A and B are shown apart, each in its own frame.
Chain A
Amino acid sequence: MVCDNANNSLLQVDNLTLRHRSPAGATTILKDVSLTLRRGEILGLIGESGAGKSTLGNAILGLLNPEFERVAGSILFDGMLLDDMDERQWTKIRGRRISAIFQDHTASLDPLMAIGPQLEEAILASIDETLRDEAYEVTIDLLTRVGIPDARERYHSYPHQFSGGQRQRIVIAIALAGAPDIIIADEPTSALDATVQKQILALLRELVDETGVSIILVTHDMGVVSDITDRVVVMRCGEVIEQGFTAALLDAPSREYTRSLLKAVPRLRLSDQRGAPNKAETLASSPDEHARAEVGAQASPILVVRDVTKTFSESGLGWLRKGADKVALESVSVELTRGAITGIVGESGSGKSTIGRIIAGLETANDGTLSIDDMNFDVARPGHRSGLLGQVQMIFQDPAISLNPRMTIGETLRESVRFGNAKAGDPAALIAGMLDRLQLAQPLVTRYPHQLSGGQKQRVCIARALLAGPRIIVADEPTSALDVSVQAEIVALLKECVIEQGVSMLFISHDLALVQALCSSIYIFRNGQVEDAGSSDFIFARSQNPYTRGLIEARSSRFTH
Chain B
Amino acid sequence: MTTETLRLLWKSRREYCFTLSGLLLASYFIVAVTAPFIAPQDPYDPLQIQAWEASSPPGTHSGSGFVYWLGTDGLGRDIVSTILYGLRISLFVSITSTLIAAFIGLTLGVSAAYFGKWVDAVIMRVVDLQLSLPTILVALIAIVTLGPGIDRIILAIVIVQWATYARLARGVALSEIGKSYMDAARLLRLPKRRVILRHLLPNSMAPAITLIPIELGHAIALEATLSFLGLGVPVDKPSLGSTVANGFQYLLTGQYWISLFPGIALFALIASINFASEDIRHRLNPRSRSHGV
Contact = CB atoms under 8 A, between A and B. Distances in A.
Contacts of B203: 404-406
B281 interface: no
A415 B190 contact: yes
Contacts of B186: 362, 383-384, 389
Contacts of B180: 394, 396-398, 401-402
A393 B198 CA distance: 20
A79 interface: no
Interface string A84-100: 00000000000000000
A115 interface: no
B188 A394 contact: no
A416 interface: yes
B188 A415 contact: yes
A401 B181 contact: yes
Nearest to A407: B198
Determine which residue in B183, B202, B289, B290 has the highest number of CB atoms from chain A within 10 A of its CB, and name it.
B183
A401 B179 contact: yes
B199 interface: yes
B138 to A, nearest CB: 30
Interface string B178-195: 011101111111100000
Nearest to A363: B183
Determine which residue in B179, B180, B183 has the highest number of CB atoms from chain A within 10 A of its CB, and name it.
B180
B204 to A, nearest CB: 10
Contacts of A384: 186, 189
Contacts of B189: 384, 389-390, 419
A360 interface: yes
A73 interface: no
Interface residues of A, number: 32
B267 to A, nearest CB: 32
A398 B35 CA distance: 55
Nearest to B205: A406
A179 interface: no
B187 A360 contact: yes
Determine which residue in A23, A65, A389, A401 has the highest number of CB atoms from chain B within 10 A of its CB, and name it.
A401
Chain A, interface SS category: loop
Nearest to A393: B187
A417 to B, nearest CB: 10
Interface in B99-130: none
Given A394-B183, A396-B183, A404-B203, A468 B290 contact: no
A256 interface: no
Given A404-B203, A405-B203, A407-B198, A416 B183 contact: no
A360 B186 CA distance: 10
A389 B179 contact: no
Contacts of A383: 186
A404 B290 contact: no
Contacts of A403: 181
Interface residues on B, range: 10 to 19
B190 A402 contact: no
A468 B187 contact: yes
B183 A404 contact: no
Contacts of A420: 188
Contact of B198 (A360, A404, A464): A404
A416 B188 contact: yes
Contacts of B199: 404, 407
A406 B202 CA distance: 7
Contacts of A82: none
B290 A67 contact: yes
Contacts of B179: 401-402
Contacts of A401: 179-181
A403 B185 CA distance: 10
A287 interface: no
Interface in A140-180: none
A362 B198 CA distance: 20
A66 interface: yes
Contacts of B181: 401-404
A293 interface: no
A392 interface: yes
A419 B194 CA distance: 11
A158 B186 CA distance: 39
Nearest to A389: B189
A401 B203 CA distance: 12
Interface string A318-357: 0000000000000000000000000000000000000000
Nearest to B178: A401
B168 to A, nearest CB: 18
B190 A394 contact: no
Contacts of B290: 65-67
A362 B187 contact: yes
A88 B189 CA distance: 59
Determine which residue in B181, B190, B202 has the highest number of CB atoms from chain A within 10 A of its CB, and name it.
B181
Contact of B184 (A65, A67, A394): A394
A416 B188 CA distance: 7
A392 to B, nearest CB: 7
Interface in A291-318: none
A397 B179 CA distance: 11
A413 to B, nearest CB: 11
A403 B202 CA distance: 13
Nearest to B201: A406
Nearest to A391: B187
A390 B198 contact: no
Determine which residue in A361, A389, A406 has the highest number of CB atoms from chain B within 10 A of its CB, and name it.
A406
A398 B178 CA distance: 12
B184 A402 contact: yes
Contacts of A468: 187-188
Interface in B181-237: 181, 183-190, 198-199, 202-203
Contacts of B202: 404, 406
A396 B187 contact: no
Interface in A451-482: 461, 464, 468
A419 B184 contact: no
Nearest to A23: B289
A390 B186 CA distance: 8
Contacts of A419: 188-190
Contacts of A362: 183, 186-187
A444 B185 CA distance: 21
Given A401-B179, A405-B203, A406-B202, A464 B190 contact: no
Contacts of B190: 415, 419
Contacts of A22: 289
A405 B200 CA distance: 11
Nearest to A470: B187
A455 to B, nearest CB: 16
A278 B14 CA distance: 78
Contacts of B183: 360, 362, 394, 396
B187 A390 contact: yes
A271 B194 CA distance: 53
A360 B189 CA distance: 12
A416 B189 CA distance: 10
25 contacts: A22-B289, A65-B290, A66-B290, A67-B290, A361-B187, A362-B186, A383-B186, A384-B189, A392-B187, A393-B187, A396-B180, A396-B183, A396-B184, A398-B180, A401-B180, A402-B181, A404-B185, A404-B198, A407-B198, A415-B198, A419-B189, A419-B190, A420-B188, A464-B184, A468-B188
By Cβ-Cβ distance, the 3 closest A-B pairs, closest first, are: A396-B180, A401-B179, A402-B180
Given A383-B186, A415-B198, 16 more contacts: A23-B289, A67-B290, A360-B183, A360-B187, A390-B187, A390-B188, A393-B187, A394-B180, A394-B183, A401-B179, A401-B181, A402-B179, A402-B181, A415-B188, A419-B189, A464-B184
Interface of B: 179-181, 183-190, 198-199, 202-203, 289-290
